[in-house]
Structure formats: C-alpha cells, structure tokens
A and B are shown apart, each in its own frame.
Chain A
C-alpha cells in the first residue's frame, strides 16, 4: 500500500507511459474497466490488474473476449450509471470501431487510453498514429501525449473533460516510445486527483428504475441529420471546456497544457508542426539549431479532435515556411495533420504559406535528430514541393 502515504502531496516516480496512465486511472478509481490485451497497450491493463490484486482499487474488471466486447461492456456499464473506462491499440481499436460512433452519438463520457500503433498488413506492433487517425472522425476527443508525464496528466484531464462535456475522450500516447519508456513522472496526491475529478453523476442511468429510459433509438430521415448537427455543436463546445480544465489542472499540478505547445516559435521563421513522442527529438533539434542562430521552432498539437483550427492558424501566421510531420499515412491523400494545418492557415486568414508534408516513424521506424534537422534545412532553403516526403 505504498500510495497510502502520499494522499495529499506529489511523489516523483520512475514510470513508463503505460504505468503512468494506469496510475492516473487508479486515482480516478473507475467503477468498471473492461479490457482485452493488445501490445503495446497491455502495460496499462496489467498494471491496473496488479493494483486490484494488491487491494489498491476495487474496480470491477471485466476480462472480455475481444475489443469489440471491451467497448460494448464499457457502453453497458456507462449506460447503467457507472464510471467506466477501457484501453486499446491498433487492430483492437479498429476491432471496436463499430461501437465508437455509438459512444459519441449517445454522448457517453467514456475514457479510453490508447497506446497508438501501426496497422496490419504487414503485421507490425510498433508505434505510429495510423490507428488513431483511422478513427479520427467518429466524434471522440483525441488528446496526444509526448511523454509519460503527459500520459498521466492527459488521462486525468480526459476523465474530467468527458464527464463535464458528455463526450468520449481518448488520451493517446505513442506505442513503445512513450508507453514502454521509463521516465520521471510527478504523481499528484490521490486525494487531490479524486477531488479534481469528483464523483460521477450520470445524466441518465439504466439502474434508475423510477426513470426508465430507452438508450439507442432508431432515428429516420426526418431526425437523424438534426441529431448529427446537434452532436457537432456539442463537440465544438469541448474546446473551451478543455481550455478551462487545463487551467484548473495547471493550478494543482503546475503544468500548463493547452491546445498546443509553442516551443521557441515566437520569433521562428521555420516551424515544424507535429504531435506525440517525437516532439522531444524535435525540441532537441530546435535547441541545437538555435545555438547556430537559426530561427526555428516547434508547434506541438495536444488537442487533435476537435481541432483548434483558428488558434493554430494564428499561432503559425508569422512563420515563413512550415513543415507538418505526420506519423501516419493517408493513402491517396495528404496525411491527416497536414490537411488540418492547411485548413488552419485558411481559417485564420493568414497570408499564403508554403507548407511541406513529411511522414515519419511509420511502424516504429526511428526518427533521428538528423531527420528533423534535414526538415529545417529544407524549410530554410525553400525546398518545398507539393509531394509528401518520407523521413525513412
């Protein structure tokens, strides 16, 4: 019961991303967790199972027979009136894809921790964002994490956001690079987190026999479209709530989160935009080039869905050339983040920018500092074609 002593104060621990997410979930203490194993997510559920075995939590863990059932059981638990969470990755995430728009369509506040990974075929268990990009349009909030610390913090922010906004939220970390790398993590006191997330008060619950509700109705041509417009309007409100929660979380943790992180971008002429673990490598490259007097910077996106187009566009408006680095491919199209950055520049009404598209780290391929430096070199030299470049 090592955690008993740290109810009200921060402890510094050496944790990998999976453990960090599980630690956040332990403090949140959900009623139900329905889980199915898949690499590189299992660190989360194995750690949580150990917490239960050690008597630190009494969450009902449902060891389902597939990811489809993992999300289905989570839906059942959440609609019943319980705080319910799950975790997944890659093929598993796509196996449950059928149920994901149901969760968002019903407005269920489910949190799913994701350790992102490549998709078959060929089979590959390593990190990239192909899985989470494939489901990006299904009405789930997506928050990206760079390090184990972010993975911990974002899980807590995700829970609060889900329950305040009535939307499902997916805190995401890069498989292996974040999920399996041990780093320094500041874990806040249990009571501080419990008071931050509060009690779960469901809008509707199947267990309320006095108020019998029907969940999962059929809407025809005369109403379905309107339901979907309502859903989009509610989803847009997530941005301001997210911002508010980040401010509140900053007060208890001292860490500032927001739509994105601007790393030395204020006076930067050349900016890289990216998400996730490899942002760390880019920060190092920026530092190195800054020593040589290069005006370079990084804009790291945290909130990917709903996407903060205008804010991103404004933040990038002063940059001369921009490179967008995607850790996912979108076959037959420019990759997802690139498309969103192009749209951001339009929606902010910025002058015409040259925006280059790069794809990196597919299937766990290492991205070295030299790759990042070569991108900045391209930006500086105006080497911006209209083709996607691969940082192999």
Chain B
C-alpha cells in the first residue's frame, strides 16, 4: 500500500464515496410544477441539484443527481410550490 506522505492529497472525484447510497427516500421533481426559482439548489447540502432544460420549457427545471443525494428532503421542504416530493 503506497500512501501519500502525511496524508496530503488532491481532490479526485473517482475516490469519492457515492453518498446517494445513504438515501432511504428520494426527491422527485414534478417538472410541470417546478417554476425554476432555484431555491432548492442553494440549500441542498450535497449540491446535487442542477437546473436543466426540460422539454420545450423556457425555464430551466430542477434536476437531481442521485449519485450524491442523501435523501434529506431539504429541497422538498424549501420548494415554494411543492414541486418536489420525497418517495421511497
């Protein structure tokens, strides 16, 4: 086993644990309801919400990265139009 001296390392996403494994429920975004306000984005502890173009909508809609989403439900709680629900 070869270890870096002093445990001094650089960021390497391939070494990251997939924290999505922690989730016991997952947020589902209702793209029709989502108004693209981005409130959920800034509060997500794991920065796993990206705003993406969805079908022919003009506005970008919330899109969840389940690789890292721990399923805390903060996004659903802060959504002003209840466009996100937590599902098991």
Task: Tell me, yes or no, whether A and B come into direct contact in the complex with CB atoms closer than 8 A.
Answer: yes
A215 to B, closest residue via Cβ: B8
Contact A212 B7 (CB under 8 A): no
Is the CB of A297 closer than 8 A to any CB of chain B? no
A203 to B, closest residue via Cβ: B5
Q: Which of B5-44 contact A (CB under 8 A)?
A: 5-11
Contact A213 B8 (CB under 8 A): yes
Contact A214 B6 (CB under 8 A): no
Report B-chain residues with C-beta under 8 Å of the C-beta of A240: none
Is the CB of A267 closer than 8 A to any CB of chain B? no
Is the CB of B1 closer than 8 A to any CB of chain A? yes
Report A-chain residues with C-beta under 8 Å of the C-beta of B3: 223, 226-227, 230
A215 to B7, CA, bound (A): 7
A108 to B, closest residue via Cβ: B6
Question: Which residues of A does B touch, CB under 8 Å?
Answer: 105-108, 166, 203-204, 211-217, 219, 223, 226-227, 230, 234
Mark interface residues in B47-74 (1 if CB within 8 Å of A CB, else 0). 0000000000000000000000000000
CB distance from A135 to the nearest CB of B (A): 19
Contact A106 B10 (CB under 8 A): no
Say which residue of B1, B6, B9, B10 sits within 8 Å of A105 (CB atoms). Answer: B6
A47 to B3, CA, bound (A): 42
CB distance from A236 to the nearest CB of B (A): 15
Report B-chain residues with C-beta under 8 Å of the C-beta of A219: 7
Contact A204 B8 (CB under 8 A): yes
Contact B5 A234 (CB under 8 A): yes
Report A-chain residues with C-beta under 8 Å of the C-beta of B8: 106, 204, 213-215, 217
A226 to B6, CA, bound (A): 11
Report B-chain residues with C-beta under 8 Å of the C-beta of A234: 5
Report B-chain residues with C-beta under 8 Å of the C-beta of A217: 7-9
Given known pairs A223-B3, A226-B1, the reply for A212 and B9 (CB within 8 Å) is: no
3 residue pairs, one from A and one from B, having the closest CB atoms: A106-B6, A217-B7, A107-B6
A129 to B8, CA, bound (A): 33
Contact B9 A214 (CB under 8 A): yes
Seed contacts A106-B7, A204-B8; 12 additional CB < 8 Å A-B pairs = A107-B6, A211-B10, A212-B11, A213-B10, A214-B8, A214-B9, A223-B3, A223-B7, A226-B1, A226-B3, A227-B6, A230-B5
CB distance from A125 to the nearest CB of B (A): 35
Say which residue of B1, B5, B10, B11 sits within 8 Å of A166 (CB atoms). Answer: B5
CB distance from A226 to the nearest CB of B (A): 6
Report A-chain residues with C-beta under 8 Å of the C-beta of B5: 107, 166, 203, 230, 234
A166 to B6, CA, bound (A): 10
16 contacts between A and B (CB under 8 A): A105-B6, A105-B7, A106-B6, A108-B6, A211-B10, A213-B8, A214-B11, A215-B6, A215-B8, A216-B7, A223-B3, A226-B1, A226-B3, A227-B3, A227-B7, A230-B3
Name the residue among A105, A108, A204 with the largest chain B CB count within 10 angstroms: A204
B10 to A, closest residue via Cβ: A213
Report B-chain residues with C-beta under 8 Å of the C-beta of A211: 10
Name the residue among B1, B5, B9, B11 with the largest chain A CB count within 10 angstroms: B5
Contact A213 B7 (CB under 8 A): no
Name the residue among B1, B3, B7 with the largest chain A CB count within 10 angstroms: B7
Report B-chain residues with C-beta under 8 Å of the C-beta of A212: 10-11
CB distance from A29 to the nearest CB of B (A): 26
A106 to B7, CA, bound (A): 7
Report B-chain residues with C-beta under 8 Å of the C-beta of A227: 3, 6-7
A214 to B9, CA, bound (A): 5
A158 to B8, CA, bound (A): 24
A211 to B10, CA, bound (A): 8
CB distance from A222 to the nearest CB of B (A): 9
